Amino acid sequence: MAQDIKTLAQLLIRSLKLYGNNFIFGTTGAGMAELQDAISVEKDLKWIQALHEFTAVSSAEGYALAKNKTGIALIDRIVGTQNSIGALYSSYLNMAPMLVLSSRDIAGTHLLKDPTSHYSSKHLQIIEPWVKWSNNSQSEKMLDEDLSKAIFISQIEPKGISFITLRHDLMQRAYNGSKIKIKKFYYSKKIPDEDTINIIIGKILSSNHPEMLISHAGRNPEYVDTMIKFSEMLGIKVRERRYFMSFPLENSMHLGFSARMKPPDTRNDDLLLLLEFGILPGNAFRDDIDIIDFSTDFVRRRDIYSGGDYGSSNLFNSMDVISDLGPTLKFIMKKIKLESKDREIIGDRKEKIMEKHEKMIQEIDGETESDMKSGRLTAASIGYTINKYWKPGMSFVNGSITSNTRINQRVRLNEPGSYFSNPSGHLGSPVGMAYGIFLAKNEENYLKGIRDYKPTVCVTGDGDSIFGNLTSVLWSVKHYHLGVIYIILNNGSWAVEWPYFENTSQRYVANMHDREFIDLDEPRINFATIASGFNVKSYSVETIDELDKSMNLAVIDAEKGEPSLIDIKLEKYNP
């Protein structure tokens, strides 16, 4: 098997393939020549070229989340590492299992006879806050161990990023014939002891108004069905921050979406079950609410919006349960014994929750119907139109901010692993994530060249798009024939920033209605024209009918592997 391996770079690439990887997402740079040389002969590992390191890492992030396995990115030296920091932060907040490889120059070890290099030994200081494990790979002897450790660490809970720098002189070195050792991993799920489970059961059964709040729990799609059964068995209402499809909106226990940055209104609750749901530092729930706080991470840095390194507020009145959520909920359901009085209470609770759910759905549908009749392009009518052309197996990336919840209310997703978002608040991640997700969802057909695909839809704003390497993405999706539909909500503004001006101490900007600081108008960016420059089919729409026709055509093309961009010209945001 190893007779044809000439360099350690080739050994590394062969090993990645043997670990089950089919794609490596990256950019081209002078520091990566040995590795790309190896990829060119190890054809089973397909190279997906990006035009910027940020996009390379965010596409690997999307692949990792949608496949629920380690995604691989390759970036160029210290310059590429710095370019990718925002995408690393986004991946960290999404708990994406990834291995990011960065080439590295050491002074005096030039690439062959090339005297030009970016020397740096500072890679790890730059990225360390946002990765689980990092290492400068220093020797041939440790290469095998570094690789296996990095992949294993990325996959254990809480999942995250491993980052390895690869020395050029090491990658150039001739292969010495040592065997490739591929290690198999087994991760033992963490569940609480029986005493803890009994306390949890007691709290749930003694509660009158329990509620489940969910943020990241649906990142493991297999947990979704467990959460549904748990909620229905015990009559517990549910609200979620939709970063993943954690609970189907149409389920009768679902009572809507929680704001990303504010604690939800819990005025009627006496027990909260937080399922990977933290709140920003400085916030708190009411002191008289009992809390059971489920998480895989005791610091709680990754289940809140823009979580940073401090993590969730410390909930001193909480019962902290550090465990794997799905197995823990199953264990609770297995151990719980419901008496007739419990069943009666649960039945009453469920009946009231179902009434509230039905009323919520009626209100959402009523608002949608009104907007559709008016002919106006709104978050409601846009979401409704996307939903009209939705098919099983499709994936949705919602990178919008001001319209996020209202769109989510209309795109009725029921498949776990069909929805992804951006909890980091870092502009630019969703557009790259989208094509990584497309490859994950269509991997078998794509590798076989069968153009029968399940499209990915990515909705995002004009501010996010222009900030987020859209040109890099458009080239990649066209070059590789990836069936992604980009929908740009173009309102000529960074609208999400306006509330901060309303809350300044003097309110000068707000009182003068001075929009200069959030303005993206005059000229209004024409994203359809940008897309056409990459030979990507594009549509500029200003009415619901135009959106309807464009969406229909875009889905047909995406199923054949042809990307599209729909530029929705909205009224200029006028706070």
What is the Cα–Cα distance from 264 to 407, expressed in whole angstroms?
Answer: 19
Residues 216-244 have a mean pLDDT of: 97
**How many CB atoms neighbour CB 68 within 10 A?**
16
Task: Note the pLDDT tens digit of each residue in 152-170.
Answer: 999 999 999 999 999 888 8
Please, which pLDDT band fits residue 144 given cuts at 50, 70 and 90?
confident
Domain that holds residue 207: 194-353
Say if 221 falls within a structural domain.
yes
Domain boundary pick from 126, 141, 172: 172
CATH number at residue 274: 3.40.50.1220
451-462 tens-digit pLDDT: 999 999 999 999
Of the pLDDT bands very low, low, confident and very high (cuts 50, 70, 90), residue 109 is low
By residue count, the chain amounts to 575
Q: Do 204 and 116 fall within a single domain?
A: no
Q: Is residue 338 located within the same domain as residue 390?
A: no
Residue 455 sits at φ, ψ, to 5 deg, of -65, 160
Q: What percent of the chain has pLDDT over 90?
A: 77
Q: Are residues 162 and 201 in the same domain?
A: no
Each residue of 8-27: pLDDT tens digit? Answer: 999 999 999 999 999 999 99
Question: What is the spatial distance between Cα 170 and Cα 172, in angstroms, rounded to a whole number?
Answer: 5
Looking at residue 420, what is its pLDDT?
97
pLDDT 10s digits, 475-494: 999 999 999 999 999 999 98
Q: What is the mean pLDDT of residues 176-200?
A: 90
Residue 103 in domain: yes
Q: Which of 378, 419, 418 is nearest to 399 (CA)?
A: 419
Q: Distance of CA 336 to CAs 95, 213, 234, Å?
A: 31, 21, 10
Residues 267 and 336 in one domain: yes
Confidence band of 316 (pLDDT split at 50, 70, 90): confident
Angle made by CA atoms 66, 92, 212, in degrees to the nearest 5: 75
What's residue 314's pLDDT? 78
Q: Are residues 158 and 14 in the same domain?
A: yes
> What are the tens digits of pLDDT across the range 414-455?
999 999 999 988 888 999 999 999 999 999 999 999 999 999
Q: How far is CA 306 from CA 94, 160, 345, in A?
A: 10, 16, 39
* Contact present, 395 and 454 (Cβ < 8 Å): yes
Q: Count the neighbouring beta carbons within 10 Å of the beta carbon of residue 507.
A: 11
Instruction: State both tokens at 565.
Output: 């961009």
Mean per-residue pLDDT for 496-518? 92
- What mean pLDDT do residues 341-364 have? 97
CATH at 479? 3.40.50.970
Nearest residue to 518 via CA among 440, 453, 572, 457: 572
Q: Are residues 316 and 413 in the same domain?
A: no
Q: Are strands 271-275 and 564-569 parallel, antiparallel or unpaired?
A: unpaired
pLDDT at 1: 46
Same domain membership, residue 239 and residue 103: no
Mean pLDDT of the chain, nearest integer: 93
Using 50, 70 and 90 to split pLDDT, how confident is the model at 321?
A: very high
Asked if the structure places residue 407 within a domain, the reply is yes
Choose among 367, 457, 365: nearest CA to 419.
457
Instruction: Give the pLDDT score at 114.
Output: 62
Give per-residue pLDDT as tens, 67-90. Answer: 999 999 999 999 999 999 999 999
Does residue 117 register a pLDDT over 80? no
Report the pLDDT value the prediction gives residue 2, as an integer from 0 to 100: 52
Are 160 and 213 part of one and the same domain? no
Under 8 Å between Cβ of 102 and 166:
yes
181 falls within a domain:
no
Whether residues 140 and 202 fall in one domain: no
Residues 416 and 538 in one domain: yes
Phi, psi for 195 (deg, rounded to 5): -60, -45
Strand order in the sheet with 71-75: 46-49, 23-26, 71-75, 98-104, 161-167, 133-137
Q: Are residues 410 and 558 in the same domain?
A: yes
Strand, coil or helix: what is 536? coil
Residue where a domain terminates, one of 301, 319, 353: 353
Whether 293 maps to a domain, the answer reads: yes
E-strand ranges in 30-111 read: 46-49, 71-75, 98-104
CA-angle at 67, arms to 323 and 566, nearest 5°: 120
pLDDT band at 115 (very low <50, low <70, confident <90, very high): low
pLDDT band at 110 (very low <50, low <70, confident <90, very high): low
- Those residues with Cβ within 8 angstroms of residue 492's Cβ, 6 or more apart along the chain or in another chain: 462, 519, 520, 521, 524, 525, 570, 572, 573
CB contact at 8 A, 572 and 566: no
Strands 237-240 and 210-214: parallel
Mean pLDDT of all residues in 186-213: 95
pTM equals: 0.96
Tell me if 234 sits within 8 A of 210, measured CB to CB. Answer: yes
Task: Give the domain-ending residue among 292, 322, 353.
Answer: 353
Residues 486 and 465: their CA atoms lie apart, in Å, by 10
**Residue 63 DSSP symbol:** H
Q: Which of 263, 259, 311 minimizes the C-alpha distance to 289?
A: 263
Domains in the chain, number: 3
Beta-strand ranges (E) seen in 325-408 are 395-398
Residue 437 lies in a domain: yes
**Do 456 and 538 fall within a single domain?**
yes
What is the rounded distance in angstroms from the CA atom of residue 88 to the CA atom of residue 127? 8
